[in-house]
Structures are given as structure tokens and as C-alpha cells.
């Protein structure tokens, strides 16, 4: 359902047009004083309305603590937080219940919940629900940092334009810090410029474009994860598919491994001083579901935003006839840049949970 | 850990060279008389030693029922099953604890479990553990069939050779039946022939090759799955990454969606008589984590078998020096064909569990 | 942790002096329009300050819906609710961290959470956290009612005074309705009067007194519950021990069964027309963890309120010496009457969850 | 279902007359070499046919390891074990499906599972299923011992005869060792003699008698357990109700607390040198769901064996008429002595799981 994690557990609530969205975080260690400036800065990376490649819609997104924090320090009780929904449009959404938007959850939600489904602004399927996830993830990132673990993602692809991929065996903490500081995190600035052009082009065509996020985690100890269904891949994939628009999750070379030979894909072990290391890291830091101590590399495919300004074919559920629909309003021509911190947040929450369980 | 599912729950046990492997299945409905011939036939699809593209090693793999079945009918108690391990080689495996095989779980398991880890034959990480999964999956497939649900997968890719992909909106029950009946399930026989040549070529080079499996599920009702972390994608991905060698899981167009525009990727709704349908099915049958009633399409990237006959670099964990290793023994040059029924089994178990929870 | 249930899941948050307390309820069916008057009336039964036998402290306890309800109807999204904490005393609680109150969670919470623990008003262990549980339980009770299931509890004992126990095989819906309507729910009014005197006597002695609650559930279908660890007893006990001050949970004759012979305790089956029934119901409606269709009977032992006005011995954790403590403030001389609706709420949530899972 | 625990997880399988019973234990630490002599000795305490107060039926109960143990040492893989059922009587059980035995699970299991239910020997509800639990518990006890934690139970009551109760604040490791060594573990030998007479008397009357077990745990660190629904009481109760015939679970003074005043029941803290201790331990070692470091005391009510030799009223489910039934065969006149190690096993498994999760 809306709950992620075992020992560190986040329950997300809210709909786009409910009085509030928010989350309850169980299992945070007591005595932790989160840096709220950093939390805000992290959440701002996800917030819309900030630059040319996201929707112009603005959200204030100020988290209000309901419990669990006493004078800025966790007390051991669940940390509950809400964000009041203030920027809702009062326009009529009822039409959407008749003509579901292609590739949205409108139709499946109507089948599941019936006519009571809150379709306004995408309801509980709205990307807005990732704001509380980012809040929770920002706390997890700070707790991971205390353990010497860094999480950062880059925009690996937008449309047909790919960013440079670093050597998975050699990606470094400074590389990740650099990514964390960028508004449009790419390794190759030129590729970034092209990506922005692709996004702008999609916007000008009242269209949208998909992309790929690649998330790195440095500093994970070897030995984390359980075999079979409790592995790092199982857990991360289960979590990352909770981000709206994600269509695929892979590790290391991912689907490219399908075209490779064992002699290419295998990662030879080598000694790095006293430490076991690998010459290549096609595996992306996980073997048999268990971390190898090498950089963790997870790739996330993001589909093009379903809401586009062009007229689209759909059905009228009342008359049971074919019809056409034009979606109005402000939408992200490419959700990938704003999904980067969400991916980091979800990865951080999952890995911290696994570390706490270990 | 080794447990899959909530209401229908499979716990797998065993190591490659333990006295036995097996599983316990909780939650099977009472009064179900599985067709054991079909179970055996299904398990045989996974068994090795049957054709040119798999290892020549033989396993008898006869499941012995320990509980839960009375005169061939489930009684409501957990169904426990074991397969005695009879074909173990007595050779010395202790060397592997010093020189971990590249891209195997040897190293990470040694870090996690220490020197007590049972490394013989890959221990608990052995692909042999998928035999009990296939047993359980064969039961799930029969129970799904009673609900009008069919599961079948094809070998979508081996190395650089791709099978023809059917129209995801039009894949039909006869298509799936055809796949289920093939020893090497592909839509395009010529592609299949090329794939076998690629595998043979890898074998002759003492190498291995990866591939991709695409699994279809027909007949799922719309409305199955929960939002956020309880969706069909989350659940299937978490399960499918439990299959050894899986490196990626995606739905519908998967990672190709990254290069697409919304106007291409969106699936227009159309009326099919009285039924809501879609013109295309890029989404692969899931919207917002919930089934749409369209064919479910899941893609699974499989890496090349890590065990290859060529000399490979690795380390000596005792002397902490670099060294070289040549793996002997019989290994699959391509695990993809044998992984096809495993993917079907895991998909069937997960979807039946979700249907039973609904 | 703070989460109850599987398919119907309640996550409670808050501390006595946090900005708010509340809960998130996942899994409510969409399209349910709860009767909020009845919810308020139910919550009022738990609220303090209403009569002679409870603390004179007042709480407004107005639940504010954050999400999940659209124009009074559930929409399928988690229903989140908060109650703002408005009646907090600003007095200094820091002394309690030095001198833990006997038989409170002060000491164990300090061991667990360290000095960051929010000890004000009992923190996250405060009985106040049962208000959101009652809110959630009130919804569950309405959903059970739609299924023809009634839940009601009586004050079976206060101190040494016992209420009349009805015939467990014959307890009827009107009996339960009568209980639900009483401010001090007992079968024997005279016993009730004596109990109130016992409570008043305890109050006058700056002391407190324990008691027992017996909860009945009528209308449960036979066949609910799983064997071994998934039985009705396992689930109800796990939930009911979540109510502060509960020290024991038993079913039917409970601990009295220890003194009985099989010939006394066994419940002979008899036909009641076409329906299988029992002549006696010592088992309290559960056999082998599974409901029998007979009235469910669960007994809950409640200890005397730990906060009493008398001086008590304790330790000074700073100086590590023995010392004495007098607790000031308004406390319930007997928590049993206010715990009655809490027991009903928790039983209702657990049983509805089990019915939804079935 | 049949699974106990989170991080240390036991899945029990089997029916009384299935080919085998057994269990799979996930989460045991690798490198643990269980003392199998001690395991056997522990299991023997539960085995029937050994003395006057248990059934004369014999079971060999030799556990056969299927996986997880290599040369006597755990390897990190799930430890699977089976016990072959060899002593089954071939008599006809089908009559029981028509005339359910009073206070057995026959009737509720038939409702739940239908006519496929395996009623032979009590099927999956047979007390025989506690043999694998004892095997698993014996391992847990050894692992707890390594942490300095001792678990032992006494027969606190049989029929109307009560054993002496020790001072809950002063119960000592030697007290518990003494209990562990007794065939009929009581503190007061005279009471034990009377209890045996009560049992013998029940047997001579073709009747049975109930009792109470009290289990102590010494050496638990303070701070174990989570608030609300994750407390020690919640977890232990949920587990202990999985033992057949258990009707109540309470902690410390349990239901007697209902008759007490706060001034009697509260446990004053005192310094014991540098350590915080309590003068009395009415709470039984848990406050707010969290261990206090004091002896843990849990009481378990056990009903009289349902199978008695006297004629009893029941119904004929086929003709839907009242009838009478006489149960033949060998049955325990009092299950309490044999349930003592089962209670210790289940408590040990649960507490070790909680310690591993901490």
C-alpha cells in the first residue's frame, strides 16, 4: 500500500486536492537533529515552477511537523508531517471521470475505487505525493551521510540524448557531490544542454519526453542484503517502482547485459591494497542480492509525462463511445529532472532500512 | 529472505549440495487437485541436460510431497515438498573460498556468512533452488488457469539477436499457448535459430551469453494492485529479481520509453464493443500500479552465465594477492531458455497472491 | 511499531504534548460514508473529564481530516486524521527524567530512546494516543455493522467487584446494544454501583484500582482465522496488548479453564434448527484459532493506573540513589471505564482486517 | 499462518498423518554449531509416552536435517528439518467428519477447508506440530544462552492445585536451572505430587484437567520491544496463542492486577548498587511494551485436553441431528507438563527474534 520499509517505515498520505499531504516515519533513531535547511534545499530540487523544464505551477510545500520532533530532535516517537494543499484549482474535474486520460491512472483507479475516487489533480496518484517522500528521504540521506554513505543520481538520458556514463568501478564521492550540487545533474554539460533543448522542443510541440535516471550509492559496506527475495535489487526495485512514471529498474549494465558475453560482463576481482575490489563493475555493486562494497548503480526508466496538450483519443465511460480529449493546465514536458531527488530519496530510505535491519 | 508472497506464501530451502532442496507453500486453497503430470512437464522445462543449449549435467528433480496433500488433494495445511540432491560431485570446493569466482555470489556470501558459507555448487545461491520455485509456480499456473488467466514467456533476446515482438495490445491466448508448447519459445523461428547459433558459438568459445525474457499475462481483471509501493510492478519486480542472474525488470516498452515522446507512448483508450480497451499497449497492462485488463507485459534482463571456462582474474583472499582462476565443470552457456519457466513461475505466484489478497 | 493490521492498516502518531496526535488508515473501502455523529459519540465514551470516575482533565479531541475523505465519502486513498493538542500544561517535566515514575514507561523509554525521549505527559506512551485508535475503531465498527457484526464490552470487574457474566452461548444482540448505550456498561446495575464506590474510594485514598473488560462479538461467520500463529486469538491478543495498562488477554473461560476438567470445559455441539451450535461456549467462539460462529468472548485484564497521588519510592537516575516521588496532576483512579471503547475499537479493527483478508 | 517471526523466522509444516512434519528456520546466524544432544534432550521433554501423566502413544521424533547445516554448523541458508511420521494408525477417521469432537478444531476446520480437510489425528491442528517448534526453540535457547539469557517455565497450576510462586523480583538463574532439570518442573515438590494425583484422578475418570504454565526469562537487557503493537507482550502473546489449548496469556500479576490497587501493584524502583532495579516485579519485567531488565514473567492458561474418554454430545453434520460420540485412543489426561518445553521454545524464538531485530 502506501507504506515503505520494515524497520524504518514511511507511510505516505494525501491526494493532490485533499486538505493535506504528508507522511508518518516510524523507526527513526531518537536523538537525531535533522538539518532542516538541508531538508528544504533537497525538497526544493523536486518542487515545480523553478525553471524552464518543469511546470510553471508553484507549490509552497512547507512541511509542518505534527509529532516526533522535540526542539528539533527526534524523540523516538513516529515523526508525522503534513504539507497543507493551498494551491488547488477549483475547476471542475468531474468530466475526467467520464473521459479517462490516456496512460494515466484515471481509468484503473475508477475500476478499483468506483465513482468515489478523488480524481482531482490526479488524486492519490499525483506526483505531488512524492513531496513527503522527499522529506523522509532527506532525513534518510542525512543519516546515511553519518555512516559515510553518499547517494546521488544523474540524468542519464532524455529522449534520445544520453549523458556520459562514468566508469562504474571508479565513480567517486567528489563525482557524487558535484551531481548533488547541480540544478540539472549530468556528467557531460554538453549533453545536458542538448537534453534541455529536447525538453524545450517537446514543450513547444505540446508534447512530453521520457528519460532515464541513474543513481549511485557510495560507501555501502559489503554484505548487505539477503538472498532470493530479500536482496538489494528486490528491495530497491520494489521501492523505486513506487515513483510515478517509472517503467523499468535495472542494476549495473542492466538490459545491456542481455547483449553481452560472460567474458565481457564478468567483473574480475583485484586487490586494492588490502581491500578486495573489482576491475570493472558491470554488476553495479550487487552480487547474489548482496552488496559487494563497490559503487551501487541503479538505472530507472521514466516514461514521458502522460499529460500532454495535444488532442488524444479516449473513451466516454458513460456513453461507452470513442471520443477525444484535450488536457489543459500546466504540466512538466519532462518529469525526469524533478524525479532525480525522488529517486535519491527512495533509494536512501530503502538502503537505510536495510542497514538498520542488518 | 527466502519467502515470497503474503497470502500465498512460498518458502524455499536448500543448497546445491545439501541433503535436499524444497519449499513450503502456505495458503493454497483446500480441495485443489493439482495435475502432477503437468507439474512434472513444467519442471522439465527448467531441468538441465536436455538439449544442446544447456549444461549436460542431469538432475532427477523428483518432488516428494511431505505434507499438505491427501490422496492428491490439498487439505488446507501447508504443502511441503523436497527434492533429494543425488547428483552431487564429491570434489573439493574449499579452494573457491580462497579464490572467489568473478560475478558469482561467492565473495559477497563469504563476507556475509563467513567461512561457514556452503560454497559447494553455489550453495544457496545455486540456480538449482529455482526447481522448487517451478514446482510452486506450476501449481499457481493451474490455479490461475481456473480463473482464465494464462502466463507465457518468450526468449525476447539472446546476445544481439532479438525475437519478433508481438503487438502488446493484440497478443492472444493462442499466441501464449504456442509459446508454452515450444522447447525454445520464440515468435520468430528464424530468430530462434540464430539465437541457438549464438549460444553454440559462446559454448565453443568457453564463454556465455546473456539475453532477455518477456513474459505475458492474459486474462487478468482490471483493478488489481495497490498504489505506490503495492503495485503490480513493485510486487513483480521484487519477486523476479529473486531469480538468479536477473539484472533488470521493466514493463511494456520499458527502457525504450526513455527515448519516446508522450504522443507516441500514450495508449489511447478505445471501445472494443462494450469493453474499454487500448489501441496500443506501451504501458504493458499496468497504470498507476493497477492492472488495466490489457495484456500484462514484463521484460526481464538476464546476464550471461558467470561461470565460463576461460581463465579469469580474481584474488586469493588468504594471501591477499591477485591470481587467476579457471572454472571447470559443466555450465549453461546461456541460462535464458531454462529461466523462461522460472520467470513464468515467479510471475504466476506473485499474481495469484495479489488476486487472493484482493 | 505503531501500525496495526495488514489489509486494513492503522498507523498512530503523536505524543501527549506534540503539536498533534492522529492516525493514517490504509485499506478502507472506497465509497464508504462514515456517520461522523456516531464517530464523535464513540470517541466521547473514551474522552476524559466527563464523570466522577475519570480524570477531570478535559480534551477537546476534535478529529480533523487531512486526506482520504471527499465530501464525507472515502475515496480509496489513506484516510489521515489529526487531533491538535491544545490542552498541554507548560509545567516542567524534566524532573521525571531523573526520577522515573514507578510502573510507568518512563524508565524503559529512557533506556530505549535516551535523553531525547519526550517524557511530557507520558509522551508516546500516553493513553491519549488511544483517541486516534477510537476514531479508526469507530469506522471499523460501522463497517462491521454493515456485515451484521456487533461488538460491545462490559466492565467485568473493578477491584474485587465482579459484574454478572452472561451465558457465553446465549449473549444476544440486544444485550450488546444495551451495553453500548450505557455510560458505565455492566449487566448488573448493583455491581456497577459497587464498582463506582470502589473507584471513588480509591480516588479518596489518592490511589487507583484495576479491573477487567470483557468484550463480545456477535455475528462473526464461522471459519475466520488461520491455524497456528494466524488465529483469532493470536491476532486479537497482539492488538489488545497495544492498549496501555493491559496485563492479560484470555478467551472464553480463560484462566479459569486451568482449574476445570475436560468434561466441564468441553462445549457439546447441538443443532439449533439447521445450524450447528453449542450448548455452552467455554471456548468463547474460537476453536483452533478459527471462529466457530458462536459469540466471541475476550477478557482483558487492566492494571490499576500507575499514576497515584501517594508518595512512592523511586530512584534518582542522575545521582544513582534511592529517592521518593509524589506525582501531581489529575489522573484516572480507574482507567477501566474509559478503556472499554478502546477495547471495542481495537477488537473491531482487528476483526475487520481479518474479514477483509479472508 | 504457519510462520513465526520476522528476522528469525520459523515456518512449520505437516499434519499428524502426513508423510512428515517439520520446519524451515530462516535467519539463523551462520557459523553456529548447535549441540544436538541438548536439542534431543529438549525435544524429549515434549515427547509423549514417557511417564504416567502423558499418553502412552510413542513417537520417535528424530529430526532429519534437509538443509542449512554443513558438518553440524549453520551455513547461512535456511535450516530445514523433517520428522517422518511413522507411528500412524490406519484406522478410519472419516467418521469424525460427520461428528466433530467437542472443543476440537474439527468443526471449524471443516467449515474453513471443506471436506478435503485432513482430519486424521487432528491434522494440522495436532499437538504433534509442536515437535518442530521445539526443535527450532532448542536452537534459539542455545543462542540465547550465548547472550546470557535463560528461559525456564514451571507448572504453576494443575486443576485447583497451585505451585508456589517465587518472588518475581528475585527469581534467579539457579532457580531456572533447577526447573530445566526436572521431569515435572515445580518449585514446591509437594504441590507437584498433588498435581500428579489430580492428573491420575482425571485419567481414572476418563477425563482431563487444565492448568497453567509460568515462564521466566532472565538476563534480557532493558530496552527491548517497541511501543503500541510491537511490544514484548504483543509479540509473546501472538506467538504463545499458537500453542494448541492455550486460552490466556498474561504478564507478571496478570489478571490478579484487576483486583489490586496502584499502591500495591506499582513496583518501586530501587538502586541495586549501580543498577536500577525494582523492589517488587508485579509488572513481570515489561513496562510500556519494553523490557525493564527485570525477570520477564509470562503466564499461560492451558485448557483441559479436549479428547476425553467419556461419551459426549455432538452433532451429525450429515443428518443434521444431535448425536453422541465416544473418543477412543490414547490421550494426555493433562497436556500441561508436555506443553512446558513448548512454551519455553516459543518464548525463546520470539525473544531471540526481537533481540535480532533490535
SS3 per-residue string spanning D203-264: HHCCCCECEEEEEEEECCCCCCCCCHHHCHHHHHHHHHCCCCCEEEEEECCHHHHHHCEHHH
Q: By CA distance, what is C78's nearest residue in B? A: B227
Q: Given a cut of 80, is residue C55 above it in pLDDT?
A: no
CA-to-CA separations, D139 to A157, A181, D33, D195, D356, in angstroms, rounded: 52, 51, 9, 30, 14
Quote the pLDDT of residue C59: 58
Give the per-residue pLDDT at D248.
Answer: 98
Size of interface A-D (CB pairs under 8 A): 6
Residue B253 neighbours by CB under 8 Å, 6+ apart: A247, A303, B260, B265, B282, B283, B284
Contact status of A115 with chain C (Cβ, < 8 Å): yes
Smallest CA–CA distance from B355 into chain C, residue: C357
Residue D59 confidence (pLDDT) above 90: no
Looking at CA atoms only, how far is residue A127 from chain C in angstroms?
14
With a CB cutoff of 8 Å and minimum separation 6, the contacts of B326 are B309, B310, B311, B312
Q: Report yes or no: A96 and A107 within 8 Å, Cβ to Cβ.
A: no
Give pLDDT, residue D202. Answer: 97
Q: Which chain C residues are within 8 Å of D271, Cβ to Cβ?
A: 315, 320-322
Question: Cβ–Cβ contacts within 10 Å for residue B1, how many?
Answer: 17
Q: Residue C174: which residues within 8 A CB-CB, separation 6 or more? A: none
Model confidence at C331: pLDDT above 90: no
The CB density around residue B142, as the number of other CB atoms within 10 Å, is 18
Chain D residues in contact with B24 (beta carbon < 8 A):
2, 11, 13, 24
Which residues, numbered 49 to 88 in chain B, qualify as contacts with chain C under a Cβ-Cβ cut-off of 8 Å? 77
**Per-residue pLDDT for D225 more than 70?**
yes
- Would the CB atoms of A77 and C20 count as touching at under 8 Å? no
Report yes or no: C109 at the D interface, CB cutoff 8 Å: yes
Q: What is the mean pLDDT of chain D?
A: 94
Question: Which H, E and C letters describe D152-202, residue by residue?
Answer: EEEEEEECCEECCCCCCCCCCHHHHHHHHCCCCCCCCHHHHHHHHHHHHHH
Please tell me the predicted confidence (pLDDT) of residue B93: 76
User: Which among A27, A75, A113 has the least Cβ separation from residue C118?
Assistant: A75
**Residue A322's pLDDT band (boundaries 50, 70, 90)?**
very high
C-alpha cell of D253? 500479576
The C-alpha atoms of residue D179 and residue D196 are separated, in whole angstroms, by 17
How confident is the model at residue B330, as a pLDDT?
75
Residue whose cell numbers read 499438505: B68
C252 burial level (CB within 10 Å; 0-12, 13-18, 19+) = buried
Is residue C261 scored above 70 in pLDDT? yes
The pLDDT confidence band at residue D61, using thresholds 50, 70 and 90, is confident
Cβ atoms of residues A43 and A138 within 8 Å: yes
- Residues of chain B with pLDDT below 50 are none
Q: For chain B, positions 123-152, list CB contacts with chain D under 8 A.
A: 123-124
Residue A210 pLDDT greater than 90, yes or no: yes
Q: Choose from C99, C221, C228 for mutation: most chain D CBs within 10 A.
A: C228
Q: Name which of C104, C270, C291 is nearest D322 (Cβ-Cβ).
A: C270
Residue among A3, A103, A315 minimizing CB distance to B265: A103
pLDDT band at residue A48 under the 50/70/90 scheme: confident
Of all residues in chain B, the one with the smallest CA distance to A104 is B287
A-proximal residues of B, 320-339, CB under 8 Å:
320-322
Of the candidates D213, D256, D258, D257, the residue with the CA atom closest to the CA atom of residue D236: D213
Q: pTM of the prediction?
A: 0.97
pLDDT reported for residue B328: 85
Contact criterion met (CB < 8 Å) for C123 and A77: yes
d(C-alpha A317, C-alpha A119), whole Å: 14
The vertex-B236 CA angle with B235 and B242, nearest 5°, equals 100
Write the DSSP string, A225-283: S-SGGGSHHHHHHHHHTTSTTEEEEEETTGGGGGG-BHHHH---EEEETTEEEES--TT
Distance from CA of B173 to the nearest CA of C (A): 31
Residues of C in contact with A97 (CB under 8 A): none
Using CB atoms, which chains have 3+ pairs under 8 A with D? A, B, C
- Nearest CA distance, B92 vs chain D (angstrom): 14
Q: In sequence order, which residues have a C-beta less than 8 Å from that of residue A204 and are 6 or more positions away?
A: none
The answer to whether residue A290 neighbours chain D at the CB level (below 8 Å) is: no
Judged by CB atoms closer than 8 Å, whether chains meet at C24 and A11 is answered as yes
Q: What is the pLDDT of residue D89?
A: 64
User: Chain C: nearest CA to D281, how far in angstroms?
Assistant: 9
Q: What is the pLDDT of residues C198-253, one digit of tens each?
A: 999 999 999 999 999 999 999 999 999 999 999 999 999 999 999 999 999 999 99
Which residues between 211 and 230 in chain D have a beta carbon less than 8 angstroms from any beta carbon of chain A?
A: 227
Report yes or no: B285 and B295 within 8 Å, Cβ to Cβ: yes
Minimal CA separation from C259 to chain D, in Å: 4
D357 touches chain A (CB under 8 A): yes
β-pairing verdict for B73-74 and B20-26: unpaired
Strands B296-302 and D150-158: unpaired
B106, B5, B43, B18: which is closest to B347 by C-alpha? B5
What are the structural domains, with CATH classification, of chain B?
3-357 (3.60.150.10)
Rounded Cα distance between B313 and A268, Å, is 5
- What does the alpha-carbon distance between residue D114 and residue D110 come to, in Å, rounded to a whole number? 5
Determine the Cα–Cα distance for residues D123 and D136; give it in Å rounded to an integer. 21
Q: Is B285 in a helix, a strand, or coil?
A: coil
Query: Where is pLDDT greater, at B47 or D124?
Result: D124
Measured between CA atoms, the residue of chain C closest to residue B227 is: C77
Check pLDDT > 80 for residue A252. yes
Rounded to 5 degrees, φ, ψ at A326 are: -120, 120
SS3 state at B246: strand
Instruction: Give the span between the Cα atoms of D354 and D236, in whole angstroms.
Output: 10
A2 with C115: Cβ contact below 8 A: no
For residue B340, the model assigns a pLDDT of 98
With CA atoms as reference, report the closest residue to A189 among A200, A201, A199, A178: A178
Cα separation values, A314 from A97, B257, B295, C5, Å: 12, 21, 18, 39
- The CB density around residue C72, as the number of other CB atoms within 10 Å, is 11
Min Cα separation A157/chain B (Å): 7
Q: What is the pLDDT of residue B56?
A: 59
Q: What is the pLDDT of residue A61?
A: 79
Supply angle C-alpha D183, D184, D189, rounded to 5.
Answer: 120
| Nearest C-alpha in A relative to C125 | A77
Q: How many residues does chain C have?
A: 358
Averaged pLDDT, A70-78: 97
Nearest by Cα to C1 from C139, A352, C9, A21:
C9
Structure confidence at residue D303 (pLDDT): 98
Give the minimum alpha-carbon distance from A221 to chain D in angstroms, rounded to a whole number. 18
CB contacts, 8 Å: C239 with chain D? 229, 234
Span D47-60, mean pLDDT?
A: 66
Q: Is the pLDDT of residue A325 over 70?
A: yes
Q: Would you say the C-alpha torsion D63, D68, D74, D76 has a positive or negative sign? A: negative
Distance from C-alpha of B87 to C-alpha of B84, rounded to nearest angstrom? 9
How does pLDDT run across A131-160, given as a tens digit for each residue? 999 999 999 999 999 999 999 999 999 999
Write out residues 294-323 of B within 8 Å (CB-CB) of C: none
Amino acid at each position: 500500500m502506501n507504506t515503505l520499509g520494515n524497520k524504518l517505515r514511511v507511510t505516505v498520505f494525501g491526494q493532490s486536492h485533499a486538505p493535506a499531504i504528508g507522511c508518518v516515519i516510524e523507526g527513526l533513531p531518537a536523538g537525531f537533529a535533522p538539518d532542516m535547511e538541508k531538508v528544504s534545499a533537497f525538497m526544493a530540487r523536486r518542487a515545480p515552477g523553478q525553471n524552464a523544464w518543469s511546470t510553471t505551477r508553484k507549490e509552497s510545500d512547507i512541511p509542518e511537523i505534527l509529532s516526533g520532533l522535540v526542539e528539533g530532535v527526534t524523540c523516538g516517537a513516529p515523526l508525522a508531517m503534513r504539507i497543507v494543499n493551498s494551491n488547488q484549482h477549483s475547476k471542475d474535474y468531474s468530466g475526467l471521470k467520464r473521459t479517462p486520460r490516456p496512460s494515466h491512472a484515471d481509468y484503473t483507479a475508477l475500476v478499483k475505487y468506483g465513482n468515489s475516487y478523488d480524481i482531482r489533480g490526479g488524486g492519490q496518484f499525483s506526483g505531488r505525493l512524492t513531496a513527503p517522500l522527499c522529506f523522509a528521504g532527506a532525513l534518510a540521506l542525512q543519516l546515511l551521510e553519518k555512516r559515510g554513505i553518499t547517494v546521488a543520481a544523474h540524468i542519464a538520458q532524455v529522449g534520445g540524448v544520453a549523458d556520459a556514463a562514468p566508469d562504474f568501478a571508479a565513480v567517486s564521492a567528489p563525482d557524487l557531490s558535484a551531481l548533488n550540487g547541480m540544478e540539472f545533474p549530468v556528467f557531460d554539460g554538453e549533453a545536458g544542454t542538448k537534453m534541455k533543448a529536447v525538453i524545450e522542443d517537446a514543450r513547444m510541440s505540446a508534447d512530453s519526453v521520457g528519460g532515464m535516471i541513474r543513481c549511485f550509492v557510495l560507501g555501502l559496506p559489503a554484505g548487505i542484503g539477503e538472498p532470493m527475495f530479500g536482496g538489494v535489487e528486490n528491495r530497491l526495485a520494489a521501492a523505486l517502482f513506487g515513483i510515478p512514471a517509472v517503467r523499468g529498474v535495472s542494476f549495473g549494465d542492466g538490459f545491456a547485459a542481455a547483449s553481452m558475453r560472460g567474458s565481457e560482463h564478468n567483473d574480475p576481482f583485484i586487490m586494492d591494497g588490502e581491500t578486495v575490489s573489482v576491475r570493472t563493475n558491470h554488476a553495479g555493486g550487487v552480487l547474489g542480492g548482496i552488496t559487494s562494497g563497490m559503487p551501487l548503480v541503479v538505472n530507472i526508466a521514466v516514461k514521458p509525462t502522460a499529460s500532454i496538450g495535444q488532442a488524444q483519443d479516449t473513451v466516454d465511460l458513460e456513453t461507452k463511445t470513442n471520443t477525444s480529449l484535450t488536457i489543459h493546465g500546466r504540466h512538466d514536458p519532462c518529469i525526469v529532472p524533478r524525479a532525480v531527488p525522488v529517486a535519491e530519496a527512495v533509494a536512501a530510505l530503502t538502503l537505510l532500512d536495510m542497514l538498520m535491519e542488518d
